[in-house]
Amino acid sequence: MATSKERIKGAFDHKTQDCVPVDFGSTAVTGMHVICVETLRDYYGLEKHPIKTGEPYQMLGVIEEDLLDALGIDTVPLPAPTTMFGFRNENWKEFKAPWGQILLVPERFNTTKDDNGDLLIYPQGDTSAPPSGRMPADGFFFDSIIRQEPIDDDNLNPEDNLEEFEEISEADLNYYAVSAKQLSSSKRAVVAGIGGTAFGDIALVPAPFLKHPKGIRDVTEWYISTAARQDYIHAIFSAQCDIAIKNIEKVHSVIGNAVDVMFICGTDFGTQTSSFCSTDTYEELYAPYYKRINGWIHKNTAWKTFKHSCGAVEKFIPHFIDSGFDILNPVQCSATGMDPQTLKDRYGDSIVFWGGGVDTQKTMPFGKPEQVREEVLKRCEIFSRNGGFVFNTVHNILANTPPVNIVAMIDAVKEFNGLQ
């Protein structure tokens, strides 16, 4: 029987394998809410202790080794040294979530409540700065707070939108070196992300990690800019790309090929029924920089590159492939034009579908366990033909997902793999 690392690598060879490989928890778009992680630990009778919140923006839980084994997961993350809110994942402390769960959060995870009972979180943990994230009183994750200064088109300076992109520090390089060494003997495939390689990722545009962001930080204004201020966006992307390649080169010098997959970009190009831009705009505004990043990686490393985009992106897939991406996630099959069989028939030999295993908008939270099982088995049958598939849900598993449905999903994958 193949090892987990061999299964993941085999997916890239587009060959039928002994088992469909499985990912949960290796990235910020393939994880589980902290509630779900605790529920699964209880179900499998694992040691009880507070769950670590590895990604506080979406309140995703760290999936530890014992749970990785129980779920049959073939990946392990090499997380970035800092969170979406700009503080480091270190010096853990207890925190009682609004829904009553006791969690472990990083030391600089500092919050207050407003008059509505909403939870406010602060960039770099600095409560003297304006809050950069808000969790509604009845919510389960944070939304960015838009902090947009007045825009003067005559004096726009691309440098203002480049504040977050800088040469990687020695401290962060050392972090990657130490972390990669710790994972070098892992039986699982290692998935990493170094930051700064996502061009126009709308989750990053508001810069929840900066105390006083400048430039264009309003989401609507940014989308307007991709059409009306393309010279400005090009100036940002070009400089960002130069910095990113230098940082990738430095990180590679300390981790080598201890990493198997590199998360490059979470920029969404699709909506539920359409897209945020045309493929012509993609080719003009985004593709040149993706090609540079992917080109350097493929020339100098053994890493495979991971592209995340939600929504109706079937027409973009040939362009993603041409840009050098090896992986597409989350494969949102419920979106317009994203029929699983069509995607596999058209593109299954050219890109790895990492996700699409079961819908998280309807089936997982609102379906019955048997419906979950049927959808998982059907998707595995379609996507696993001739390899090129890593099982994951369509984006993260949400807090309100019934535990019986999560277990039904895991059991169905094991059933398909002949392990149940």
> Which amino acid makes up residue 268?
D
Q: How far apart are CA 257 and CA 236, in angstroms?
A: 30
Contact 215, 163 (CB under 8 A): yes
* 190 token code pair: 């290692």
Bridge-partner residues for 389, per DSSP?
Answer: 353
Nearest Cα neighbor of 308 from 341, 260, 352 is: 352
Residue 97's SS3 state is: coil
* 132 token code pair: 């950069």
* 84 token code pair: 């979406």
Nearest Cα neighbor of 385 from 78, 97, 132, 11 is: 11
Bridge-partner residues for 212, per DSSP?
Answer: none
Residue 420 CB neighbour total at 10 angstroms: 11
Residue 351's SS3 state is: coil
Residue 16, pLDDT score: 84
Q: How far apart are CA 233 and CA 283, in angstroms?
A: 14
What is the residue whose two structure tokens read 């696993």? 384
Q: What angle do CA 375, 380, 382 make, to 5 degrees?
A: 100
pLDDT tens digit sequence for 64-74? 999 999 999 99
State the CATH class of domain 4-32+63-84+150-416. alpha beta
Residues with Cβ within 8 Å of 64's Cβ and at least 6 positions away in sequence, in order, are: none
Contact 107, 91 (CB under 8 A): yes
Contact 264, 305 (CB under 8 A): yes
- DSSP category for residue 349: T
Residue 333 CB neighbour total at 10 angstroms: 22
pLDDT tens digit sequence for 231-272? 999 999 999 999 999 999 999 999 999 999 999 999 999 999
Domain positions in the chain: 4-32+63-84+150-416
Taking only the tens of pLDDT, the chain with its 420 residues reads: 789 999 999 999 998 888 999 999 999 999 999 999 999 999 999 999 999 999 999 999 999 999 999 999 999 999 999 999 999 999 999 999 999 999 999 999 999 999 999 999 999 999 999 999 999 999 999 999 999 999 999 999 999 999 999 999 999 999 999 999 999 999 999 999 999 999 999 999 999 999 999 999 999 999 999 999 999 999 999 999 999 999 999 999 999 999 999 999 999 999 999 999 999 999 999 999 999 999 999 999 999 999 999 999 999 999 999 999 999 999 999 999 999 999 999 999 999 999 999 999 999 999 999 999 999 999 999 999 999 999 999 999 999 999 999 999 999 999 999 987
Residue 42, pLDDT score: 98
Q: How far apart are CA 109 and CA 86, in angstroms?
A: 10
